[in-house]
């Protein structure tokens, strides 16, 4: 019993360290982009990889079908739920891989929430003609919970044109992969995909445990 408790504590500290490491990396990248690039500016790394600075009010990969305030509050609730769920998973002695995937999802969600909470308070507005800088707290471009999420990774792996004979889209440009995203988005996506591929049974078990404890 004591050995299992020590193992759970060890996994807990590892999960905490991973969450903070991802948060730090994510924020370093975002702050550098925000303070060194104008809005819409792109750095050509390769023909299939650009650093392109955009901001969005919505969800991962620029989706915008939810009101900004509602989305920020939803993120806070989701992060709280995932945190409690991760704690239960660690206490139950689940595998390190499962804990790692959940930690990636948690830290990615928290990374984007930081943008929403504070970036509008501490940064000047970015424009296509100027580079933003830090400002006095509360004198930034927006209110609490209304900050914009900074995105920068763009991978136009395939750039071509639809054949003219195709209905609706014939002759139009086609880009794969077109969304611009950030490090936090990538962590969420990788974590979720790995959970669905390798840990679906674990999710079902923990879901039943959670339901029974309610």
User: From the candidates 26, 47, 164, 185, which is the catalytic residue?
Assistant: 185
Integer Cα distance of 161 and 149 in angstroms: 31
CA distance readout (Å), 140 to 1, 34, 62, 134, 146: 52, 13, 22, 8, 11
- Residue 42, C-beta contacts closer than 8 angstroms, at least 6 positions apart: 50, 51, 52, 53, 154
Give the CA dihedral 114, 116, 118, 120, nearest 10 degrees.
Answer: 150
The reply to whether 26 belongs to the active site is no
- Residue 165, C-beta contacts closer than 8 angstroms, at least 6 positions apart: none
Strands of the 49-56 sheet, one edge to the other: 42-46, 49-56, 149-154, 180-181
The reply to whether 151 belongs to the active site is yes
User: From the candidates 26, 115, 151, 164, which is the catalytic residue?
Assistant: 151
Contact 102, 86 (CB under 8 A): yes
Integer Cα distance of 49 and 177 in angstroms: 10
Q: Cα–chain-centroid distance for residue 107?
A: 8
- Residue 74, C-beta contacts closer than 8 angstroms, at least 6 positions apart: 66
Catalytic residues: 151, 185
């Amino acid at each position: 019993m004591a050995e299992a408790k020590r193992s759970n504590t060890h996994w807990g500290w590892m999960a905490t360290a991973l969450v903070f490491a991802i948060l730090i990396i994510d924020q370093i990248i975002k702050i550098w982009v925000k303070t060194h690039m104008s809005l819409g500016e792109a750095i050509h790394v390769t023909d299939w990889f650009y650093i392109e600075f955009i901001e969005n009010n919505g969800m991962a990969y620029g989706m915008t079908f939810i009101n900004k305030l509602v989305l920020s509050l939803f993120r806070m609730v989701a992060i709280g739920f995932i945190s409690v769920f991760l704690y239960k998973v660690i206490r139950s002695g689940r595998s390190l891989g499962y804990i790692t995937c959940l930690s990636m999802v948690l830290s990615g969600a928290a990374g984007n929430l930081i943008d929403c909470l504070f970036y509008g308070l501490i940064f000047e507005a970015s424009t296509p003609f100027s580079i933003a800088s830090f400002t006095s707290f509360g004198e930034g471009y927006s209110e609490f919970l209304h900050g914009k999420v900074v995105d920068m990774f763009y991978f136009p792996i395939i750039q071509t044109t639809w054949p003219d004979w195709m209905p609706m889209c014939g002759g139009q440009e086609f880009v794969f992969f077109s969304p611009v995203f950030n490090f936090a988005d990538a962590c969420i996506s990788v974590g979720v995909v790995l959970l669905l591929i390798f840990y679906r049974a674990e999710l079902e078990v923990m879901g039943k445990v959670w339901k029974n404890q309610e």
